């Protein structure tokens, strides 16, 4: 991505339900707090504001803690919660800047408008002097528009535009997620054509990363990150990744060849078409 998402830019993860969009956003939040102070506007640690509309605040914190505990100490959650918390604190102190900070706030589905989010950030700044270096919204499709429209697709475009405007006015990057349609659930490569509801939100975003993988691959803890849209970097790049649902870590392995994946998908579809034709042909003969 040539340095990551820039100030005033909107980035989105796109995938079907249950594929890992929220996990991806938590990964972004945790990695941001590990960045050097040069990424912070006050040079004393990166501050992340995380608005959640899908998961509860408690479950979002749990995912964040599990990421910092790591796989080695994941089983301590049930066996020894006190020891688990101790390991989380130790790892946070070891891996992050002491002045890095994460604020997580929860809103009910379809209740948070962009203007409310902007006002809440103003309140944090005026009351506590707290200004975010990164804003995360989990996720865009669950927000409410400023003005209702009969067609949801127009509302989603409006929300995406308003979120990007918040990033521009505050000079911070904004990460969110959006839903892909049902046909994307088991596709080896998910593209912007697979977006649900409205293409407008993809058009507004500066960066769109799709989470791809078949059911078999997900069961084996594998997925692909497809850089479907990059405004200032190389697009249509496929990154192989490991994904552990147990504690939520998404770890990039390296670039893969998307052409091979698409060709394999095409062969599978061709095989299915041939099977259907043979069945139909046999019925006609009898």
Q: What is the mean pLDDT of residues 220-230?
A: 86
d(CA 156, CA 12): 13
Q: pLDDT value at position 252? A: 86
pLDDT at 270: 47
CA distance 135 to 41: 13
Token couple for 202: 């993809």
User: Quick check: 182 and 223 in contact, CB under 8 A?
Assistant: no
CA-CA-CA-CA torsion sign (134, 35, 71, 218) = positive
List, for residues 164-195, the tens digit of each pLDDT value: 999 999 999 999 998 887 776 667 788 777 77
* Residue 62 CB neighbour total at 10 angstroms: 15
pTM of model > 0.85: no
Our separate counts of H helices and E strands in the chain read 9, 9
């Amino acid at each position: 991505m040539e340095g990551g998402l820039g100030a005033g830019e909107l980035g989105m993860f796109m995938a079907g339900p249950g594929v890992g969009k929220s996990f991806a956003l938590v990964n972004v939040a945790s990695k941001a707090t590990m960045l050097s102070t040069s990424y912070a506007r006050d040079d004393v640690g990166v501050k992340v504001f995380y608005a959640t509309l899908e998961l509860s605040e408690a479950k979002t914190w749990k995912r964040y803690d599990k990421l910092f505990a790591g796989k080695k100490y994941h089983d301590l959650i049930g066996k020894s919660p006190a020891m688990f918390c101790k390991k989380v604190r130790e790892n946070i102190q070891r891996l992050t800047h002491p002045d890095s900070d994460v604020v997580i706030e929860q809103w009910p589905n379809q209740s948070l408008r962009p203007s409310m989010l902007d006002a809440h950030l103003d309140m944090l700044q005026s009351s506590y002097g707290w200004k975010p270096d990164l804003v995360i919204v989990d996720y865009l499709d669950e927000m409410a528009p400023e003005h209702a429209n009969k067609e949801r697709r127009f509302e989603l475009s409006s929300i995406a535009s308003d979120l990007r405007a918040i990033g521009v006015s505050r000079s911070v990057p904004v990460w969110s997620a959006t839903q892909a349609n049902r046909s994307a659930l088991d596709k080896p490569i998910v593209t912007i054509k697979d977006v649900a509801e409205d293409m407008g939100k993809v058009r507004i975003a500066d960066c769109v990363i799709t989470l791809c993988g078949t059911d078999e691959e997900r069961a084996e803890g594998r997925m692909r990150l497809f850089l479907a849209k990059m405004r200032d970097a190389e697009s249509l790049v496929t990154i192989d990744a490991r994904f552990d649902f147990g504690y939520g870590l998404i770890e990039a392995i390296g670039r893969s060849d998307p052409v091979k994946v698409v060709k394999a998908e095409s062969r599978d579809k061709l095989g299915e078409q041939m099977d259907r034709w043979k069945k139909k042909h046999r019925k006609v003969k009898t």
